Amino acid sequence: MPVSEKVSKKTRGGLTAGPDAAMCPSRLVLEHVTSRWGVLVLAVLMDGTHRFSEVRRAIGGVSEKMLTQTLQTLERDGFVRREAHPVIPPHVDYSLTELGEEAARRVGALARWTEEKVPEVLAAREAYDAAKAR
């Protein structure tokens, strides 16, 4: 079976839900959960419910725009549950759904694996660069 389907033109899939939906859905979902901030959001929400600003601080280095975008995408995909309490000042809680928890576990496992293999990768890179420099 073919690994992918032919995609005629401009079919890059970022985190945002662009107008071009001509890509296998699984790739989209995969990119959402493995996206730069997606991984971190899932990681943070792993240990329970958090407010917007808490998540922001926990991650540190994410613009509010990207965090909003990431949270919305993950919410839309059914990974994150959003609860807005109608008070002033606003108070919004984010947590993982069942699906989100499983996603977080799996992505987290992959992340931990890569982390533990980093030494090997670094060694491989050195060897590669050394061989190439010659």
Partner DNA sequence: CAGCATCCGTGCTGATACTG
Partner DNA sequence: CAGTATCAGCACGGATGCTG
* φ, ψ dihedrals at 95, nearest 5°: -150, 170
According to the binding rule CB under 8 A, does residue 67 interact with a copy of itself? no
The torsion defined by the Cα of 45, 49, 55 and 59, in degrees rounded to 10, comes to -30
Residues between 8 and 47 with contacts to a copy of itself, criterion CB under 8 A:
11-13, 25-27, 29-31, 33-34, 36, 39-40, 43-44
CA atoms within 13 A on the CB side of 68: 3
| Nearest to 105, CA basis, from 23, 21, 42, 26 | 42
According to the binding rule CB under 8 A, does residue 95 interact with a copy of itself? no
Q: Which of 19, 85, 120, 130 binds a copy of itself (CB under 8 A)?
A: 120
Binding mask 86-125 for DNA (x = CB under 7 A): ---xxxx---------------------------------
Closest to a copy of itself by CB, 78 or 90: 78
Q: Which of 71, 77, 96, 104 binds a copy of itself (CB under 8 A)?
A: 77
- How many Å apart are CA 63 and CA 60, to the nearest integer? 9
According to the binding rule CB under 7 A, does residue 22 interact with DNA? no
- How many Å apart are CA 70 and CA 52, to the nearest integer? 12
According to the binding rule CB under 8 A, does residue 117 interact with a copy of itself? yes
Letter string b/e over residues 42-69, b meaning 16 or more CB atoms within 10 A of that residue's CB: bebbeeeebebeebbeebeebeeebbeb
Binding site for DNA (CB under 7 A): 9-16, 18-20, 35-37, 51-53, 62-66, 68-69, 71-72, 82, 84, 89-92
